[in-house]
Amino acid sequence: MRGLLKLSGLIDAVNEGIGKLAYWLVLVAVIVSSANAFIRYGLNTSSNAWLELQWYLFSAVFLLCAGYTFLRNEHIRIDIILGRFSKRVQAWVDIFGILVFMFPMTILIMVLSWPMFLDSYLTNEMSSDAGGLIRWPAKILVPVGFFLLTAQGVSELIKRIAYLTGHRDEPGEKMHSHS
């Protein structure tokens, strides 16, 4: 169990680091959005590349932070119902949800999105909009984001099992302070 908990800690550290990097992506998205609005309305000109860059940045934050959100226990839950049960029952419900719902969905999306990215990369797919960007950077975000979410699911599964076997304290609590 010690080795699995170390793996869990490594996964947590990766998603924590990516989450902190995404804070900066939000700032970049705000700057790009503000500059784009100024250029569009103040200078009466525009570029599809700027609009697409905003979309890429939003996609990056959303997809890359799914695992970070799960790590921080900030994802959508049914706490109003689940909160009435003991911590052990909650851990079993989490294990069931991860195995039966989360893993099949995240793995399926990773598998299905990889060929779309690969095709886009190999053909150097470009936006159909004039002046648009290449598409593969946006498309790689889907399998990468769902890989990070799947990995965090593995980490959370390890923590739930460690809790149930007495190797760890409550896994569902928010274990990190907000930055």
In the prediction, which pLDDT does 171 show?
Answer: 66
The pTM is what? Answer: 0.82
Residue 70 pLDDT greater than 80, yes or no? yes
- The more confident residue out of 19 and 175 is 19
Task: Tell me what the pLDDT averaged over the chain comes to.
Answer: 86
- The answer for 110, left when phi > 0, alpha when psi is -120 to 50, beta otherwise, is alpha
How many whole angstroms separate alpha carbon 44 and alpha carbon 177?
A: 44
Overall average pLDDT of the 12-37 stretch: 91
pLDDT of residue 172: 56
The contacts of residue 142 (CB under 8 Å, 6+ apart) are 63, 109, 113, 116, 117
